[in-house]
Amino acid sequence: MTQYILRRLLLMIPVAFLVTIGIFVLVRLAPGDPVLTYAGEDKDPATIAYIRAQLGLDEALPVQYAAWLSKALTGDLGRSFQTKQRVIEAITERLPVTIELGLTALLISVVIALIVGTLAAVKRNSVLDLLSTGFTLAGVSFPNFYLGLILILVFAYIVPGRIFPPGGFVPFTTDPFENLRRLVLPALTLAAASTAVNLRQVRSSLIDAFGQDYVRTARAKGLRETAVIARHALKNALIPVVTIIGLQVGAIIEGAFITETIFFVPGVGRLAVQAIPAQDYPIVQGVVLFSAVSFMLSTLVVDILYAVLDPRISYESAKA
Amino acid sequence: MTAPALPLAVPLPRTDPTSSLRYFLRRNPRMIIGGAIVLVMLFVALFAPFIAPYDPIKVNIADALVPPGPSHWLGTDDLGRDVFSRVLWGSRISLSVGLISVSIGFFVGVSIGLAAGYLGGTFDLLAMRVIDALLSFPALVLAIAITAALGPQIQNAMIAIGIVAVPGYARLTRGQVLSIRAREFIVAARTVGVPPLRIVLRHIFPNITNALVVQATLSTAFAILAESALSFLGLGPQPPSPSWGQDINYSQRYLANLKWWMSAGPGIAIFLAVFGFNFLGDALRDALDPRLRRSG
């Protein structure tokens, strides 16, 4: 097992290396001279040359890349052009907010998908099944930013008493109730699309499992239907679901960019979106790098989890 | 001595040439629904200048924030611009970004996939690592990063979404090529000295088009959704161009005043366009590529 994890980590290195080159090139492609942004009002050529040298932008591109990479590996992603705050600090101080939102969305998505997906598979072709199929079709096609606006309109402005506020964030440590109240709408918005994908996967995996011999055997030996579903069918059907849920981490990271913007949630996604028009490239670069690394690690965790859950997948064969 | 039995000719009933098509469509209602939505969208995009009742960018303050009614079917925005006309014109941007970016992804991704699958070796290894690197980014984050770097313009949004689409085509094509290149007809073509480029283009490519058509339809749905998301974040076409995502973003400031109609038209238009391509893609997958058929 350890060998398998190590091997997967080693395979990640060249890909991560290419990812860093990609991000570096993207930032260098960006329009405008970051030195001019950094210099602000001071347009004195000597000052500009000094800042250029200080930022290392007078070196050849490969040298600049090597310098940036060696700093990035130690967690030094530079400083924001706007606030002069260290990029790593800007990200880490907003990270708990994004993680809380992402985990809540993932939890909503998984719980709804498991309950509704199981019921839809058990009561195939029922009204619930048809409704869930309709939801899965609509869920993957509905733009989450429009869904967010509909939720704000309904719950913050139309329904009397403003059950849920239109946006903002209160830390859990300050006021747990208000924190959760403000989290409901953004989490639902973020969860919608991944719920649709997960629900579809749970339903079709379970329907596949119901046709398997081990389920027929379980029924034939007289087990109650709930036991057949929970202990046999669902347990095996969840293996492919784990992969799909893992892949939803990427959807949740990208969804956070939009959801945090709509609901004024001070997370990592909103940090990047605000940095784009301000041409604050170190922030954009840092957040994109952070997103890519998180996505790669989540994919790795899913692969490992998949191997743990499914005894048919052996680490030895995975090496081949 | 008996006469030799003649082969018996059984006259086949005359078949209506459209009956097989009708049978196919009856078995694939999703194809009809998805195809109809896509066709209507394409028609609207092509003929928007003739269908739109008003100029989509003409400011008319006297008609500002009029709710939906007979004169303005989807109401007007705060500048008195007709929302319905903006939705119709917006379809031009969304569909053109969708189709052009998918074409970029298709051309680049399929070329890489064909070369990697057929040549193998070092090229395959290097190309696939680059594809893995592209897949390491959440798709929309990569599109946002590329558009932010190149500048918020519609052409850059097309390039960004096109690049994001490349890995899907490259991996699919490579996989298909690997499964076909060992088949007898390819070995035969190679044996008689057909040049590699001709083998790839005339013998391999036609055999993988079904899977690619499915991928192209589904990735158009993604491209439309991604374009609207980029426009929503201010990274697509700039005002006053009518754009679905940008118009939804603009409508946010009037949400508290319950001017819901400003975003309803563009929101439903995005949903319908994405839904149509997704539905059509799913139906095409079932019809053209049985191996990819969904269970349940």
pLDDT of residue A117: 92
Give yes or no for A158 touching B (CB within 8 A). yes
CB-nearest to B149 from A30, A203, A258 is A30
pLDDT, averaged across chain A: 86
- Please state the length of chain A: 320
Contact A320, A4 (CB under 8 A): no
Give yes or no for A9 touching B (CB within 8 A). no
Q: How far apart are alpha carbons A274 and B101 in whole angstroms?
A: 26
pLDDT of residue B191: 93
Residues on chain A touching B248 (C-beta within 8 angstroms): 143, 145-146, 149
- Asked whether residue A238 carries a pLDDT value surpassing 90, the answer given is no
Instruction: Flag if B137 and A19 touch (Cβ within 8 Å).
Output: yes
State pTM to two decimals. 0.88
CB-nearest to A157 from B136, B256, B275 is B256
pLDDT of residue B13: 61
Mean pLDDT over A156-165 rounds to 89
Instruction: Flag if B141 and A204 touch (Cβ within 8 Å).
Output: no
Residues A294-312 have pLDDT tens digits of: 888 888 888 888 777 776 6
Instruction: Flag if B144 and A27 touch (Cβ within 8 Å).
Output: no
Tens place of pLDDT for every residue, chain B, 296 residues? 455 566 666 666 666 666 766 777 777 788 889 999 999 999 999 999 999 999 999 999 999 999 999 999 999 999 999 999 999 999 999 999 999 999 999 999 999 999 999 998 999 999 999 999 999 899 999 999 999 888 888 999 999 999 999 999 999 999 999 989 889 999 999 999 999 999 999 999 999 998 899 999 999 999 999 999 999 999 988 888 999 999 999 999 999 899 999 999 999 999 999 999 998 998 888 787 655 554 43
Instruction: Flag if A258 and B249 touch (Cβ within 8 Å).
Output: no
Percent of chain A surpassing pLDDT 90:
37
Q: B181: which residues sit within 8 A by CB, 6+ positions away?
A: B117, B118, B204
Mean pLDDT over A187-213 rounds to 90
Q: How far apart are alpha carbons B152 and B239 in whole angstroms?
A: 11
Mean pLDDT over A78-101 rounds to 91
pLDDT of residue B164: 95
Paired tokens of A255: 């969804």
Q: How far apart are alpha carbons A204 and A214 in whole angstroms?
A: 17
Residues on chain B touching A262 (C-beta within 8 angstroms): 252
CB-nearest to B229 from A31, A145, A166 is A145
Assembly ipTM: 0.87
Residues on chain A touching B256 (C-beta within 8 angstroms): 157, 166
CB-nearest to A257 from B140, B245, B252 is B140
Contact B291, B266 (CB under 8 A): no
pLDDT of residue A315: 54
Burial degree of B200 (CB within 10 A; 0-12, 13-18, 19+):
buried
- Residue A319 pLDDT level (bands cut at 50, 70, 90): very low
CB-nearest to A15 from B133, B255, B278 is B133
Instruction: Flag if A142 and B258 touch (Cβ within 8 Å).
Output: no
Residues on chain A touching B148 (C-beta within 8 angstroms): 30, 276, 284
Instruction: Flag if B275 and A138 touch (Cβ within 8 Å).
Output: yes
- Cα-Cα-Cα-Cα torsion A145, A150, A156, A160, nearest 10 degrees, comes to -170
Residue predicted with more confidence, A313 or B54: B54
Contact A20, A70 (CB under 8 A): no
Runs of H (alpha helix) within A211-314: 213-220, 225-227, 234-262, 268-275, 281-309
Residues on chain A touching B144 (C-beta within 8 angstroms): 254, 257, 272-273, 276, 288
Give yes or no for A214 touching B (CB within 8 A). no
pLDDT of residue B85: 96
pLDDT of residue B295: 42
Please calculate the CA angle A298-A79-A93 and round it to the nearest 5 degrees.
Answer: 50
CB-nearest to B296 from A31, A203, A296 is A203
pLDDT of residue A57: 78
Residues A9-38 have pLDDT tens digits of: 888 888 889 999 998 888 777 777 777 776
pLDDT of residue B296: 37
